Amino acid sequence: MNFRGISFYLSLFCFPISFLAFINILYASYFDYFLSIDTYFSTLIISLIIGLGFFYYGKNSKKNINFIEQLILIIFTYLLTSILIAIPFYLSNYQVTFLNSIFESISGLTGTGFSIFKNIKYLDPTLILWRSSSQWIGGLFFLFFLIIIFSNKLFNYKMTNLTYCGDNNFNSESNVKDNLLRIFIIYSLLSIGILSLLNLSGIRLFNSLNLSMTLISGGGFLPAESLSKIISTNLQKIILIFSFILSLINFYLLFNLFNKNILIKEHKEDLYLIFLTVIFCSLIYFNNYDGLDIIVSVTSSLANSGLTLLAPDNNLSLYFLVITIIGGSLISNSSGIKLTRFYILLKITSLEIIKLISPNSIINKTIFGSDKKISDDHIKVSFLIFISFFLSLFILSSLLVVDNIGFEKSFKLSILTLTNTVNSEMFNMQNLNFANLLTSSKISLILFMIIGKIELISIFLIFKKILFKD
């Protein structure tokens, strides 16, 4: 195991935390929030020391790490960065326990949005900003993992090759740096664009800043008690819908907006997602709800954000849970099983039925009518992902039932955890107090929030490599 190589890359994920801490120090200094500024100085110093330590330990190592080592790197990244992000929560004046601090930071990094804080309006503004920035950095990290690591053809359980993902030639170190820089620039520009639109629509700058980091990452943290406290006008709702769509579609669509041939040929998955959004909205359009509120909820569910403007007494929670399970594009911050995998399972099932009825018929195994073929490996992986999702759902539900929150809430919460979706009014789960859950439940949710992001099959691959060495 190339631990030096892993430590080198691990160090690179520590420095952005230092940068975020520095930004919060500037923010606290400018607005005279000196009561909490020491916590961000501590985070800055600790993250720099750990980052530099890992950097010097691994700088002379072989930088080429194999896929299993890459998966271990991802898990270590989530664990280490969650500890660093937890420092301001733990050292704050709100008497947050260490476990609750880790819970809050993991929820931010994975874009889930579960929170141990109940009265957000009474929180220190710097801590609200820190919560939102944890989502933003988590979304950026996941895009790095998704495009650089999960594009590995040997264990392509993310199946990114079925949808256009730009230049897949990551053999050279300079090529990797170029792609990471491009991802960072596009991600940052999108964040600034959403921030500008929200601010121009009449939302105060502080709320716009926090909400923009939440929307681009598909997260669930808010700077207020509910979304309805921030969003009120139709223009603001339209900007919200647009932001959710940006979060659920293929990230590389934004690279190719001016190339019409590529848009038509390589981004049919996104067309299917837009078409599916229209269908889902149409199915509940006549249920006496505001049309824009419905679109907000549907796009939010597909983007696995969970934010909504619907009242908590709606009777559509199961409907939105199903949409949440489907998720968005393969190359996006959304979680869930993903539309493409459902498409593969449904298409192969229908083809098998056709073969039984008409054995001599010609079978077309293309994905979304493109030139790319669905291989046997894609079918196996789609089936395994489907099985592993419901296996995780069964395990987590069983663990949560012990906490006396009831079977229905345990089942709903398990789905939301595995799809990294916040427990909002849309699912009638907004009154759940995470701070009062048993320690075993919190640890289970922490583990499955990570598993929901990187998927259970990755854990199986690591155990397979350890137990059955070639």
For residue 318, pLDDT over 60 is answered with yes
Between residues 254 and 89, which one has the greater pLDDT? Answer: 89
Predicted TM-score (pTM) of the model is 0.90
**Backbone angles phi and psi of 191, in degrees to 5:** -60, -45
Take residue 455 and report the two structure tokens written for it.
Answer: 């998927």
User: What per-residue confidence (pLDDT) applies to 268?
Assistant: 84
The model's pLDDT over 47-57, given as tens digits with 9 standing for 90+, comes to 999 999 988 88
User: What per-residue confidence (pLDDT) applies to 171?
Assistant: 47
Take residue 141 and report the two structure tokens written for it.
Answer: 């990290």
Query: 3-class DSSP state for residue 116?
Result: coil
Query: 3-class DSSP state for residue 449?
Result: helix
Contacts with 122 (C-beta within 8 Å, 6 or more apart), sequence order: none
* Location of structure tokens 């990551």: 170
- Does residue 336 contact residue 327 with C-beta atoms inside 8 Å? yes
Contacts with 37 (C-beta within 8 Å, 6 or more apart), sequence order: 25, 28, 29, 126
For residue 457, pLDDT over 60 is answered with yes
Take residue 366 and report the two structure tokens written for it.
Answer: 């293309």
369 band by pLDDT with thresholds 50, 70 and 90: confident
Take residue 69 and report the two structure tokens written for it.
Answer: 């080592």
The model's pLDDT over 104-132, given as tens digits with 9 standing for 90+, comes to 999 999 999 999 998 888 888 899 999 99
Least confident of 155-169, 189-203, 343-357, 371-385: 155-169
